Amino acid sequence: MTAQTDRYIHDRLPPRSAWPVFIYPPGSPDGAQTLNLVHELLDKAMQAPWADKVLFRDPQQIITYREAHALVNQRANALRRLGLEPGNRVLLRGTNSVGFALAWLAVVKAGLVAVATMPLLRAKELSEIIAKAQPSLALCDVKLLDELQLAMSPSSNTLRLLPFDDPSLPHGLEALCAHEPTHATPCPTAGDDIALLAFTSGTTGAPKAACHSHLDVWSACQAWPRHVLNATHADVVVGTPPLAFTFGLGGLLLFPMTVGASVYFAHGPLTPAAMVQAMHDAGCTICYTAPTFYRQMAPLIAGQPVSSLRTCVSAGEALPDATRQLWKSSAGINLLDGMGATEMFHIFISSPPHSSKSGSIGQVVPGYEVRVLDEQCQPLPPEHLGQLAVRGPTGCKYLSDDRQHSYVRHGWNLTGDTVMMDAEGYVYYQARADDMIISAGYNIGGPEVEDALLMHAAVLECGVIGKPDPERGMVVQAFCVLAPGLTPDPMLVKALQDHVKQHLAPYKYPRDIVFVDHLPRTPTGKLQRFKLRDLNPE
């Protein structure tokens, strides 16, 4: 029986017939059973060996699991005292910080639904999220209030705003919590009760809200982290993905808590240089970031090695083999690649570095199943290109969105990726299905051309798309950011084209190369190819 009295989300979930098949390991709790994610991760830690070990650190404070437990309880009590009911949505806006992490945990412990938003979002984007999620309260880092206040204007009569991360504010979250009891009973949520709304990061310009239950997220904590990552309570985690992004939420908050590990939050923007410095300051053992960031950090870490570092996780976008090799030569560590999706919460294809294959993302994570399907959703044999289908203990449930019926078909989650799987079950990423370049009858994956270009010393970053062409249907078009000090010229264009021809079949070379100062990316670092396509007039 659900404990969430506010039925707004439950009433807007897709019908059960439109859900994917969920596959849980033996002994997993039933969706109707009481299960509160934060009770499992934090309350139970009070009886674990790591209760008095460090959970959160930043340059100014150290907080143990026991201290975090008390702080979260005070915040959960304060939220209840405000009159919030289980199932109400709470919008969270902030950078990666101890304050943001404590607020998120308190929201979910109280049976409320966390709606975390990217710190770089502007008022228009925030207003769209507010309109869809209908939050009752917004918790906002005091440094990020401006855009949220602009977004709230039409709904200011119903949406209450509380700033955090400034204890001096008399009406801020910290002041509100200061005299609350340090004990709080977790809301007796059912496993199927929704814990969070995860808004997609918008690589297509059309964000959607994926609903994840307490059971969904708890199941994700038992999958990739346990079978592939293999972290321990001795680990110290540092990373760049926002906590508002499920890659960051899992890697930098929830997964470390399952084993009693510690998380370090640096202050200020994490540039590549600042990230390397933060890894040194923290004694980082596990790093999370996107491929582009690893490429930018490589020359820095080569000159300033982080001796404690042992595991480097790459996800969020395709990992070029050139970046993998560059990082290994610079840091001495083979990147741990992973494919996930906001709709699936986290990584479902990944292999430990010792069992990885060149060019492959990895194998399916234990607990999940994958298939490669043709256009009629029929399974394809090994070595054939097709659409990726996955199912397991997590899956897509969009909030009030007809796109549910295209993402979920015949019980499978169709992620929109074109892949190939070999006879051993290793998956090779080609492109997003709508990014495949079909030129004169040939299928060309943009990421493989990007990988070849990145192997040339002149190319710092690149993005590859299909450009309409009357003769071939499409031609390969590359947008390249050059290494510092280089100037575009026709000789460089030819050199890059010849370089690609040496590494790939000649029909895959970029017939058109455009030099740009930067590439359009989402706040999570994903390349927005649709914006590159917009540069080509029809």
Helices 446-454 and 490-503, packing angle to 10 deg: 110
Cα–Cα dist 254/198, whole Å: 15
Neighbours of 348 (CB within 10 A): 27
Give pTM, 2 decimals: 0.87
> Kindly report the CA angle at 365 between 323 and 307, in degrees rounded to 5?
45
Domain spanning 436-533: which CATH class is it, in words? Answer: alpha beta
- Domain edges within the chain: 217-433, 436-533
Helix (H) or strand (E) holding 418: strand 412-421
The per-residue pLDDT string of the chain (538 residues; one tens digit each, 9 = 90 and over) reads 678 899 999 999 999 999 999 999 888 888 889 999 999 999 999 999 999 999 999 999 999 999 999 999 999 999 999 999 999 999 999 999 999 999 999 999 999 999 999 898 888 889 989 999 999 999 999 999 999 999 987 655 579 999 999 988 999 999 999 999 999 999 999 999 999 999 985 444 557 999 999 999 999 999 999 999 999 999 999 999 999 999 999 999 999 999 999 999 999 889 999 999 999 999 999 999 988 889 999 999 999 999 999 999 998 878 888 889 999 999 999 999 999 999 999 999 999 988 889 889 999 999 999 999 998 999 999 999 999 999 999 999 999 999 999 999 999 999 999 999 999 999 998 877 777 787 877 778 888 899 899 999 999 999 999 998 887 888 999 999 999 999 999 999 999 999 999 988 888 999 999 999 999 987 777 788 888 888 875 5
CB hemisphere CA count around 8 (13 angstroms):
16
CATH number for 217-433 (one of 3.30.930.10, 3.20.20.10, 3.40.50.12780, 3.40.50.880): it is 3.40.50.12780
Instruction: Give the span between the Cα atoms of 114 and 195, in whole angstroms.
Output: 6
